[in-house]
Structure 1
Amino acid sequence: MENTPKTTGKVFDSDVLKRLFTFVKPYVRIFYFIVFLTFASAILAAVRPFLIQYTVDNEILQNDWEGLNKMFVLLGVLLVVHAIVQYLHTYFAGWLGQYVVRDIRVKLYRHILDLRLKFFDRTPIGTLVTRNVSDVETLSDVFSEGLAAMIGDILQLVFILGFMFYIDWELTLVSLSTLPIMLFSTYVFKEKIKDTFQEVRTAVARLNSFVQEHITGMSIVQIFNNEKREMDKFREINKEHTRANIRSVLYYSVYFPVAEIIGAAGLGLLVWYGAHGVIDDDISLGTLMAFILYIQMFFRPIRMIADRFNTLQLGVVSTERLMRLLDSKEMIADNGTFAPETIRGDVAFRNVWFAYNEEEWVLRNISFDVKAGETVAFVGATGAGKTSVINLLTRFYEINGGNIYVDGHDLKEFDLSVLRHRIGVVLQDVFLFSGTIADNISLGNKSITEEQMWHAADLVGARKFIERLPGGLHYKVMERGATLSVGQRQLISFVRAMVYNPRIIILDEATSSVDSETEELIQYAIDQLMRGRTSIVIAHRLSTIQKADKIIVMERGEIMETGNHEELLRHNGYYAQLYQMQYKNMIDL
C-alpha cells in the first residue's frame, strides 16, 4: 500500500514545473507558438468591448451610419480572427500535451525496466500501473486545459484591467470593489481542493493495486471461498475513493455559487454607479456598456482560474509522484564493458554475503566453484538460500559482500545484457505473455526465426505438442498461459531457453510442478538443455539430481555439505537424511 505523497504545498512549484518542462524542450517552437497564441487571444478578447464603446459613443449616438458599418465589419473580422486563434491554441496545446505525455511514458517505462527486482518486491503492481497510465495521462491536461489556459486567463485579466483603467479609473475601482472577496474565496477553495486531490490520487493507486492483485490471484480467492471477505475489503477501499471525490464535489458545489454571487454583486454595483453617471452626463453610455462587458469578462476568468486549479493540482501531484519514481536509484549499476562473444561457463562464488533486507542474511559467507560443463545441484529446505544463489548469478540483486566470478571475471565487469544473454533460466512458475507461442519463445527478438524455434523444439522434444495446437507456433496463448497445462508451459520455457543457446543454464524447481505422466518428457528436455552447458539445478526431488557432478546442501544460508550423490550418502549427514525421508515417503505412497 502506498503512503500519501509528500507535496510541496505550492501550485506553481518551480522545481516540479521546471522538471516537467524539460520534456517540452524537443517541441520548444510549438511551445513558443502557443505562448504567442495565448497573448493574441487575450488581446483580441480585451479589445472587443473597447471597440464597442467607441462604436456606441462615436457612431451610433452620432448617427454615423457609414462609420457604424465600418465598425461592424471590423468587429466581424475581429471575431473570426479570434475564433481562428482559439482553434489553433486549443489544437496545439492538446498536441503538445499528448507528445509530452508520450515521451514521459516512454522514459518512465524504460526506467521501470531498469529497476532491480528488490523494488518490485515491495511496490504493488497496481501502483506502477497508476504511475504509467493515470498519472501520466493527467499531465496532458496540464498543458491543454491547465497551465496554458490559466496563463491565458491571467493575461486576459491584465489586458482587461489595462483597458478599464485607460477608459475610466474611478468606474474601474467601483467595478472591482468585490474583487478582494472573490480572491479570498478562490484562495480558500484552492487550498481545500489541493488536499482533496492528493487523497483522490492515493485512493486511485490503492484501488488499482487491490483490483490488479486480486484479479491475478482470483483462483486462490475462489478456492478458499473468500469472495465475501474480499468484496468487503473492496467496498471499504472503494468507499474511501468515493469519499475523497465527494469532498472535491462539495468544495466545487460551494465555491461556484459563491463566486457567481460575488460576480453578480460587482456587476450590480457597476450598473448602479454607472447609471447615475450616465444620467448626470459624467459617464458615456458606450463606457457603461463596455464596462458591463468587461466586468463579465473579468470575473469569468477568475472563476475559471479556480477551476484550472483542479487540473493543475492533479498535475502537480502526479508530477511529484512521477519524478519520485524517476529519481529512484534502485537499479543494477550497468557499468561493465566486458562483452565476450562467448563464455566457457566457469562460475565461482567467493565469501558471498547477501540480504534482501538489512542484516537479515539469506546467504552467509558462501563459497563454491562450478567448472565449465559441470552440473551442480543445490538442495535444502525452503528458505535455505538456493534461489538467492541464482538471483545473484544473474544480477537480479546485488551482493552485500564478497565476489562472484564467471570465467575469472567479476560479474560487475560484464555488460549486463551480455551476461544475461549467456545465462538461461527456467523457473518453476513459468510466465507466458498474451500472444502467440512464437512470441513467447522469441520474446520479440526479430533475429530468431521460426526455423530456429522448431529446431529448439525438436531438441527438447516439444515439437509434437506444439504441432497439435491450432496454428502451431502461432497458437494464441492467453494471459499467463492459462489455456496450457503446467507441463506444456514448462516445455515452452525450455524451448525459449534453448533458442537463445546460453552457456550457463539454471533450472529452478523445473520439475517440481509437473505430473508424473509428463515428467519423463520434461526430464528428456532437461537432459538436452543441460548437454554441453554449465548447469545449476535447484530441486526438491532428489531423484532428479542424482547424476549431478556436485551436490551442494544448504541450510539457513550456509553450505552444510558438498559432494556427489554417493559421497554424500556415505557421509550420512544432512543430505542422507533428506534422501531417506523422500525415499520413505515414496515407499509409503
Structure 2
Amino acid sequence: MSVGKRLYQYAMLYKRTIILALALLAVAVGAELSGPLIAKQMIDNNILGVEKPWVETAQGTKGAVAYNGSWYKRSDRLEPGDDKGREVRVLQSGRSFYFLNQPLPVDGERTVQNGQMTVKTKSDTAVYPVTKLERKELMAFYKPEIPKLIRLMLIYLGFIAIASVFQYFQKLLLQSSANRIIQRMRLDVFKQIQRLPIHYFDNLPAGKVVSRVTNDTESIQELFVTVLATFVNSAIYMTGIFIALFFLDVKLAAVSLVLIPIVALWIVIYRKYASRYNHKIRSLLSDINGMINESIQGMSIIRAFRRQEETEKEFDKLNQEHFTNENKLLNLNSLTSHNLVGVLRNLAFVGMIWYFGGASLKAESVISIGVLYAFVDYLTRLFQPVTNMVNQLAKLETARVSAERVFELMDTEGRDVAEGVMPRYKGNVKFDNVSFAYKEDYVLKQISLEAHQGQTVALVGHTGSGKSSIMNLLFRFYDPQKGTITIDGQPIVDIPKQLLRQHMGIVLQDPFLFTGTIASNVSLDDPSISREKVEKALNDVGADKLLASLPKGYDEPVIEKGSTLSAGQRQLISFARALAFDPAILILDEATASIDTETETIIQNALDVLKKGRTTFIIAHRLSTIRTADQILVLHRGEIVERGTHESLMQLQGRYYQMYQLQQGAKVQAV
C-alpha cells in the first residue's frame, strides 16, 4: 500500500472532525471571497451608478433628488406608484460631472468644451448641451446611495467577522485532529517496537529507532498540521476564486485555469529532485542520533581512553554531510519557491492588461470598473494560495520520506503481544538436539539437557561457547533452527512469548534500572505486586543492608540506568525484582561477575531463598559460586563437552577441572 493511502487511512480515523473542519473552512472562504463582489456592487451600482438614467418624478418621492426646481430619481430605483417623467443623465468627463437634460441614445468617448459635450463613437459623433455640477449638487445625486453603501460595508464587515470565527474553529479542529493522528501513529510505532523480534535490534542502533519514533513522526505531524491544512485551504480558496472569476468573465477565467497544470507539473518536478536529498537527510539524521546515543552511553570509555577528539571528528563528518545535503535542498527550494510564483503572477497581469486593454477604463468599454476591480482583486488573491502551497513543498517531501521510514518500521514482521494469563508451570525444561545460528554459522550444536523443578543448572565455558545463547532460546528471544525445547513437556514454540515469560525471571550481569524509585524498579509498576511484597523481596535478598544508607530508603529516586547506585546495589535491586515476580524459571546471567566479594556473600545467601521451588539456570564465570549446583554443563564451541556435579567433574579432571584450578591458582597468586 502506498504511503499516501496509509496516511489517508490514519486521517480517516478522525474523519468526522476533519470533515467538519473542512466545512467550516469552505464557509470561511466563501465569506472572505465575498469581498470583491460586494466591492463590485458598490462601485458599479452605488458609486458609478450615478451615470445611470434618471427620470423626473413628483416632489417628496422617496429617494428623489432636487435639482434646479425639479425632482429626479434613478430609473432602476423606481418603485410601483412613483411618477415617471422625462429622462435625464448625469455624466462624467475627465474629473468633472455634467447634467444632461435629455436621454443619451449612444454612449462613447466624451469631451466637454464651452458647455457642449461631444460624444464620439466609431461610426458617429453627437453634441449635447450640458451643465457642470458643483460639488454640493453632485453630492445631492449621491446622497440616496450613502445608506446603501453603509449597509454593504456593514455586510462586508459581517462576512469578515464570520470568516474569522470559522477560520479559528476550522484551524482548531484541523490541528487538533492532526495532533490526534500523530498521537495514534506514535503509539502504533511504539507498539510495533514491542512486537519486533530481538534480532531486529541487533542490526539497528537504538538512536536510529528513537529517530523514527520522534524526528520522523514530528515531520509527519508537520504534514497534517501545516502542509495538508495549507493545501486543503489553498484548494478550497482557489476553487472559490475560480468560481467567482467565471461569474465575472468566462473567457478570462478559462485562461486563468492554465495555472493549475503549471503548479501540478511544478510539484512533480520538485518532488523528483527533493526526494533524493530528503532520503539522504533523514538517513544522516538517524546516524547522528545513533552516534549521540552511543557517545552518551559510552562517555566514560571515551574519556578514559582519551577519544574525545576522534569522536568529535566522526560527529563533525556526519554533521558536515548533513549540512551539505540540507544546503542542496535549500538551493532547490530557493529556485522553485516564491520567485517562480512572482513570475507567474506578473505574466497573469500582463495577460489581463492585454485582454482588457486601455479601453477598459473608457466609458464605452464593455467591461465595468467594478468588474475590473473585482477581477484584479481575485487574481491577486489567487496567487496567495499558490505561494502557500509552493512554500510547503519542502515540508511535504520531508514528511513523505519520514512516513516511508516510519511505515518501513511498522511493516517489519512482528508478533502481537499476547493477552491473558498462563497458569504457572512447574519449570521442567528439556532441550532435545537443539541447534541454533544467529546468521549462518551454528553457535549451538545438538544441545540436549534436562532441568527439573527445583534444580539448579550451571552453564560454564569460555566466552563465545554458547552459554547466553541457550538462555536466549529459553526466553524465546530467538527460536532454534533445529531441535525442540519444552517446558513441562509442551514445546515452547506453541506458547505465546509473552505468556511464556510470565513465569520467568532474569538477572543480568549489568542489570537495567528504569527511571523512578528503587521500589518501582522492583515492582515495575505491576499492580499485582504490593508494597509489602516489594519490601519483603528487598529484605530477603539482603538489600536492606546495602540500601539502608540512602536518604529515602526504598523510595530513593533512580535516574537512567541507576547510574547513582553502586554495581552491588543495582544487582540487589535486580535480584529483588526477580524474587517479587516469583518466577518458575530463574536465570542468573553472570549475576555475580561484577560485584565485590562482600556483596557476593550477601547475594549467595539470598540465592538459597531465591532458588527454592524454582528451576534455576546460572551462567557463571566464578566457578566457586556454582559448587552446590545440581548439574554443571561445560560448553565449548557450542557443544556440551562435560556434564555432572562439581565433585564428579573435578574427579574427571577435564576442562572444568582445568578452569577451576586456573581460577583457584589465580586467586592464590593474587594473595
Alignment pair present for 1:108 and 2:189: yes
- Kindly provide the amino acid, as one letter, of the partner of residue 411 in structure 1: I
- Kindly provide the amino acid, as one letter, of the partner of residue 287 in structure 1: V
Structure 1 segment 277-356 matched on structure 2, within 5 A: 277-280=359-362, 281-331=365-415, 339-340=422-423, 342-356=424-438
Q: CA deviation at 1:345?
A: 1.6
Range 41-50 or range 132-141, more displaced: 41-50
Q: Which residue of 1 aligns with 2:358?
A: 276
* Residues 433 and 477 in structure 1, CA contact (< 8 A), matched pair in contact too: yes
Cα gap change, 1:451/1:180 in structure 2, threshold over 3 Å: closer, same or farther?
A: closer
Distance of 2:417 and 2:494 partners within structure 1: 9
Q: CA deviation at 1:467?
A: 2.6
Q: Which residue of 2 aligns with 1:511?
A: 592
- Kindly provide the amino acid, as one letter, of the partner of residue 388 in structure 2: M
Q: Which has the higher contact order (CA 8 A, sep 6+)?
A: 1
Q: Which residue of 2 aligns with 1:35?
A: 22
For residues 259-318 of structure 1, give each alpha carbon's deviation from its aligned partner in whole angstroms, at most 9, with x where no partner exists. Answer: 223313422443465351323513211111111111111122112211222232222222
Q: Which residue of 1 aligns with 2:142?
A: none
Q: Which residue of 2 aligns with 1:11?
A: none
Cα gap change, 1:190/1:535 in structure 2, threshold over 3 Å: closer, same or farther?
A: closer
Distance of 2:642 and 2:660 partners within structure 1: 14
SS of the aligned residue for 1:325 comes to helix
* Residues 94 and 140 in structure 1, CA contact (< 8 A), matched pair in contact too: no
Distance of 1:178 and 1:573 partners within structure 2: 86
Cα gap change, 1:289/1:336 in structure 2, threshold over 3 Å: closer, same or farther?
A: closer
Distance of 2:274 and 2:43 partners within structure 1: 43
Q: Which residue of 2 aligns with 1:146?
A: 227
For residues 159-186 of structure 1, give each alpha carbon's deviation from its aligned partner in whole angstroms, at most 9, with x where no partner exists. Answer: 3223213312344466677877666555
Cα gap change, 1:335/1:403 in structure 2, threshold over 3 Å: closer, same or farther?
A: farther
- Kindly provide the amino acid, as one letter, of the partner of residue 659 in structure 2: L
Q: Which residue of 2 aligns with 1:232?
A: 313
SS of the aligned residue for 1:468 comes to coil
SS of the aligned residue for 1:229 comes to helix
Distance of 1:568 and 1:479 partners within structure 2: 42
Distance of 2:267 and 2:506 partners within structure 1: 59
Range 383-392 or range 300-309, more displaced: 300-309
SS of the aligned residue for 2:14 comes to helix
- Kindly provide the amino acid, as one letter, of the partner of residue 549 in structure 2: R
For residues 100-133 of structure 1, give each alpha carbon's deviation from its aligned partner in whole angstroms, at most 9, with x where no partner exists. Answer: 1111111211111122211111111111111111
Distance of 1:386 and 1:193 partners within structure 2: 50
Q: Which residue of 2 aligns with 1:7?
A: none
Distance of 1:50 and 1:406 partners within structure 2: 81
- Kindly provide the amino acid, as one letter, of the partner of residue 382 in structure 2: F
Q: Which residue of 1 aligns with 2:8?
A: 21
Structure number with larger C-alpha Rg: 2
Alignment pair present for 1:166 and 2:247: yes
Distance of 1:237 and 1:571 partners within structure 2: 57
* Residues 505 and 533 in structure 1, CA contact (< 8 A), matched pair in contact too: yes
Aligned length: 573
Q: Which residue of 2 aligns with 1:8?
A: none
Unmatched 5+ residue regions in structure 2?
51-144
SS of the aligned residue for 2:663 comes to helix
Distance of 2:233 and 2:419 partners within structure 1: 50
Q: CA deviation at 1:563?
A: 0.9
* Residues 339 and 414 in structure 1, CA contact (< 8 A), matched pair in contact too: no
* Residues 164 and 294 in structure 1, CA contact (< 8 A), matched pair in contact too: yes
Cα gap change, 1:362/1:409 in structure 2, threshold over 3 Å: closer, same or farther?
A: same
Cα gap change, 1:65/1:156 in structure 2, threshold over 3 Å: closer, same or farther?
A: same
Distance of 2:171 and 2:632 partners within structure 1: 69
Distance of 1:472 and 1:407 partners within structure 2: 40
Distance of 1:405 and 1:338 partners within structure 2: 19
- Kindly provide the amino acid, as one letter, of the partner of residue 105 in structure 1: R
* Residues 267 and 393 in structure 2, CA contact (< 8 A), matched pair in contact too: no
Cα gap change, 1:284/1:393 in structure 2, threshold over 3 Å: closer, same or farther?
A: same
Cα gap change, 1:65/1:53 in structure 2, threshold over 3 Å: closer, same or farther?
A: same
* Residues 431 and 486 in structure 2, CA contact (< 8 A), matched pair in contact too: yes
Cα gap change, 1:177/1:207 in structure 2, threshold over 3 Å: closer, same or farther?
A: same
For residues 502-552 of structure 1, give each alpha carbon's deviation from its aligned partner in whole angstroms, at most 9, with x where no partner exists. Answer: 121111101111122322122222232123321111111111111111111
* Residues 241 and 382 in structure 2, CA contact (< 8 A), matched pair in contact too: yes
Distance of 2:218 and 2:260 partners within structure 1: 35
Q: Which residue of 2 aligns with 1:75?
A: 156
* Residues 405 and 411 in structure 1, CA contact (< 8 A), matched pair in contact too: yes
Distance of 1:136 and 1:157 partners within structure 2: 30
Q: Which has the higher helix share?
A: 1
Cα gap change, 1:326/1:203 in structure 2, threshold over 3 Å: closer, same or farther?
A: same
Cα gap change, 1:178/1:566 in structure 2, threshold over 3 Å: closer, same or farther?
A: closer
* Residues 386 and 554 in structure 1, CA contact (< 8 A), matched pair in contact too: yes
Match of 1:495 among 551, 576, 579: 576
Distance of 2:418 and 2:527 partners within structure 1: 27
Match of 1:188 among 269, 278, 281: 269
SS of the aligned residue for 2:629 comes to coil
Q: Which residue of 2 aligns with 1:263?
A: 345
Distance of 2:238 and 2:203 partners within structure 1: 49
Q: CA deviation at 1:437?
A: 0.5
Q: CA deviation at 1:344?
A: 1.7
Q: Which residue of 1 aligns with 2:36?
A: 49
Cα gap change, 1:263/1:388 in structure 2, threshold over 3 Å: closer, same or farther?
A: same
Q: CA deviation at 1:477?
A: 1.3
Cα gap change, 1:567/1:100 in structure 2, threshold over 3 Å: closer, same or farther?
A: same
Q: Which residue of 2 aligns with 1:544?
A: 625
Match of 1:430 among 511, 520, 527: 511
Range 473-482 or range 518-527, more displaced: 518-527
Distance of 1:17 and 1:382 partners within structure 2: 49
Distance of 2:446 and 2:591 partners within structure 1: 27
Q: Which residue of 1 aligns with 2:564?
A: 483
- Kindly provide the amino acid, as one letter, of the partner of residue 289 in structure 1: Y
Cα gap change, 1:187/1:50 in structure 2, threshold over 3 Å: closer, same or farther?
A: farther
Structure 1 segment 454-473 matched on structure 2, within 5 A: 454-473=535-554
For residues 17-64 of structure 1, give each alpha carbon's deviation from its aligned partner in whole angstroms, at most 9, with x where no partner exists. Answer: 322233334422112112212332343343332232222111211143
Q: CA deviation at 1:428?
A: 0.3
Q: CA deviation at 1:229?
A: 0.4
For residues 182-214 of structure 1, give each alpha carbon's deviation from its aligned partner in whole angstroms, at most 9, with x where no partner exists. Answer: 665554334333333222222221111111111
Cα gap change, 1:44/1:187 in structure 2, threshold over 3 Å: closer, same or farther?
A: farther
Q: CA deviation at 1:143?
A: 2.1
% identical aligned pairs: 34
Range 20-29 or range 565-574, more displaced: 20-29
Q: Which residue of 1 aligns with 2:218?
A: 137
For residues 330-373 of structure 1, give each alpha carbon's deviation from its aligned partner in whole angstroms, at most 9, with x where no partner exists. Answer: 44x77798822x2222110011111111x221111111101111
Q: Which residue of 1 aligns with 2:82?
A: none
Range 25-34 or range 551-560, more displaced: 25-34
Structure 1 vs Structure 2 CA RMSD: 2.2
